[in-house]
Structure formats: structure tokens, C-alpha cells
């Protein structure tokens, strides 16, 4: 998977910050969580990261997850979208 664009936008002045993460489902059904990308710059800011995913165990499905953090503590999150590998 090339040229993945992940965006985290902060829309609240609440002292928390947003983050976005890619998670993939491997051929054997196991889940791989890729690193979180954090936007620490405050309300009204948005950050986009261009990245890729390559897994020798295969990628059956890709999911984007977003969450709010307080420092390094995960507060609440949700799945923002999912896509099956069309070549699977």
C-alpha cells in the first residue's frame, strides 16, 4: 500500500489532542497496528502524513482509526474507515 494519507484534525479546545493510525488484517487473521500519528498543535490545526504499509504476512484489509489522547493516554477512539484488498 503506497501513498496513504492519514489526517488528524483538532476541532475542540479541550486540552486533548487527536491522533490517527492505520491497522491492517493479515492473511492469517491477525491484526497489525501501525504507529499512531499525533497532532499536538491545538484547536483548529490539521496534520497529514503520507506513508505506506508493506507486510510480508499479507494485507487482507486496512482500517483507519482516530482517537483523542491526553498526553500519551488513549481516551476514546473509533474506526474512521475500512477497505478490503481487491487483490485478495
What are 63-75's pLDDT values in tens digits? 999 999 999 999 9
Q: Whole-model pTM?
A: 0.89
Closest by Cα among 31, 34, 82, 83 to 57: 31
Distances (CA, A) of 47 to 12, 25, 30, 88: 15, 25, 29, 31
Q: How far apart are CA 32 and CA 18, in angstroms?
A: 20
Cell of 51: 506513508
Provide the pLDDT confidence category of residue 81 given band limits of 50, 70 and 90: confident
Whole-number pLDDT of residue 80: 86
Average pLDDT over residues 20-30: 96
Q: Return the CA Rg of the chain.
A: 14
Whole-number pLDDT of residue 55: 95
Amino acid at each position: 500500500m503506497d501513498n496513504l494519507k492519514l489526517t488528524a484534525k483538532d476541532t475542540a479546545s479541550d486540552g486533548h489532542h487527536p491522533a490517527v493510525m492505520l491497522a491492517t488484517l493479515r492473511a492469517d487473521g491477525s491484526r497489525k497496528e501501525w504507529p499512531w500519528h499525533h497532532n499536538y498543535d491545538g484547536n483548529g490545526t490539521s496534520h497529514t502524513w503520507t506513508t505506506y504499509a508493506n507486510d510480508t504476512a499479507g494485507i487482507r484489509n486496512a482500517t483507519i482509526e482516530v482517537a483523542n489522547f491526553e498526553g500519551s493516554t488513549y481516551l476514546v477512539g473509533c474506526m474512521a474507515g475500512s477497505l478490503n484488498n481487491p487483490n485478495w
